[in-house]
Structure formats: C-alpha cells, structure tokens
Amino acid sequence: MPLRLSTVILPVHRWSDGGRRTWQHAEELGFHTAYTYDHLSWRTFRDRTWFGALPTLTAAAAVTERLRLGTLVTSPNFRHPVTLAKELITLDDISGGRITLGVGAGGTGYDATALGEEAWSPRERAQRFAEFVRLLDRLLSEGGAGGPARGVSYQGDFYSAHEVRTVPGCVQRPRLPFAVAATGPRGMRLAARHGQAWVTVGDPAGFDGGRTPDALGALRRQVDRLDAVCEETGREPATLGRVLLHSGSGDGGDALSSVGAFVDYAGAVAELGFTELVLHWPVENSVFAGDLAVFERIATEGLAQLTA
C-alpha cells in the first residue's frame, strides 16, 4: 500500500477565526485524513485556547466532503465507552462515514486528574485501556440495527453497560475503523485484535521534548515487534495499517524544513512498512511552529516526488 499523508490540526482556533478555514484547507491540500487531539488540554497549551475534539470534528464534517476525520487519540482518561459510542455513531453519520477513531491508553497529564481523581498507575491504565477498547468495539459493532434485541450488556472491572442500544449503528460497517496507539506488546495485541491500524510516535522520548538519535532504528524495532505480535494472535501483519505521528525528533527532526527533507524522511518511513504519515499543522509560538508555505508544498508536492 502506498504511503498516505495526513495531518493533525490542534483545536486551538476559534471556528470563526481560522478554525473552519484550516479544516477546509486541509481538504484542498489533498490530505488523506485530518485528525485532532482528544484532550481537555495538552501540555504547553494548558493555559491557551483549546476546544473539544468531537464538536470540532462535527463542525469539520459539515464543511468538508472528501477528507477523512479522526481523533489522535481518544483515551479512557475522561471518556466512557457508552457515551463515546453514541457520539461516534452520530459523528460517523454526519460525516457520511468518514471517521476514524484513534484510541490510546492516555498518560499522566492534566487529562488524568482534571476530574478530581488520582492518576492511574501504568498497570491500571493498561488494564482500563484493554477493557475500554473491547467494550467500545462491542457497542459499535453489536449495539446497532441488527444487534441483540436487548442491546449490549457488560460488567467488567472498570466499565459496565446495561442493554445499551446504538441504533442505527455506524455508516461504516461493521463499525468505524480503530487506529490503536501502542508502543509495547500488550497494546500491540489490542491493535492486532481490534484495530484496522496501529499508531506510534516512535520513541516516546521525542514527544516529551527529548532527542532520539536513532529514531528510525526505534521505529524499525517497533515494527518488528508488531509483526511478531500479529503472528502470535493469528493476524496477518499486512492487514494492519501502520500510522506514524511525526513528533519532530531524532532522524525526522528536520523533515518539515523543506520538500526535499520530507521526501527523504517519508521514503525511509515507507521502507519500514508504514502506510500513513501524520504531520502536525503548524501552530505559531509552540512546539509545532513551522513555515506554513513549506508545509503546503510538502502536502502538494512531497508525496508526488516520493512516488516518482
């Protein structure tokens, strides 16, 4: 499968002051998918404008026609599978079946404590994530038209559901696709069992402001681990999409400096078997600052040069 190019647009602009235009421009530039972060706030943006992900995607769905839309990523930190499922089938309907759910375990930042709870331990976070994905899969696949007459009921260690209906279900059948974020074997098993794609940022240190001198090597090791996990779970590795969210660190740190630098980096990513590369839309005065003109040239010329 050829490498697809997507973007992630942070929900930092008022809809009337650049927000609407940015999503429409992403479609004009030819991106495959435009994602947004599903957080209550994010790190250095905590005291800056930050809007909700699902309302933003709903608005984007109403002003675009071809562009796929999604979260990158939704987590259990402040979401419940039952309410999330209802919102997702609504969003999938409004968009005409253009939604991808990026889903991950979440972290220990503001999202983890905003509801007044203590941040979960890594073990509990992993356990909650596994249960969250399994129940959400059932709700979106079985709760719609044609599902059990009494809907979906479930009682787990962390989540429960009682006779939940999600009629009429997703436009996309049997449900909208999951892109499951994972760096370790446990999360990768979830991706292999429930995902249509796997998501990684490579070495997490790059997203924490550190440098990753061997970023491509770290990616290669993750891909090898994913292939092994797929084989262990009976999943044909080639049937699982591979999505790389560019973090701007290490070997790919200068990938957005020019079209040529992007082509070199994207070519290396494609050789590792990735099917989708996601670039952050530039945000002024932030860790994602960049030259918008260069970014636009990368979108319109970069993949064409890579293919050539």
Report d(CA 37, CA 183) in Å as an integer: 18
Report d(CA 26, CA 95) in Å as an integer: 16
Among residues 203, 182, 204, the alpha carbon closest in space to that of 103 is found at 182
Give the SS3 label for residue 152: strand
Q: Where are the beta strands (DSSP E) in the chain?
A: 4-8, 33-36, 68-74, 99-103, 152-155, 160-164, 178-181, 197-200, 241-245, 276-280
Among residues 270, 266, 267, 268, the alpha carbon closest in space to that of 279 is found at 266
pTM: 0.95
CATH number at residue 291: 3.20.20.30
Show the domain range for 186.
4-307
DSSP 8-state code for residue 253: T
Phi, psi for residue 63 in degrees, rounded to 5: -115, 10
Q: What is the pLDDT along the chain (308 residues), one digit of tens a residue?
A: 789 999 999 999 999 999 999 999 999 999 999 999 999 999 999 999 999 999 999 999 999 999 999 999 999 999 999 999 999 999 999 999 999 999 999 998 889 999 999 999 999 999 999 999 999 999 999 987 777 778 999 999 999 999 999 999 999 999 999 999 999 999 999 999 999 999 999 876 655 555 556 889 999 999 999 999 999 999 999 999 999 999 865 556 689 999 999 999 999 999 999 999 999 999 999 999 999 999 999 999 998 888 87
Give the pair of three-digit tokens for residue 287.
Answer: 């860790």
Count of structural domains, the chain: 1
Give the pair of three-digit tokens for residue 293.
Answer: 């003109």
Report d(CA 51, CA 298) in Å as an integer: 27
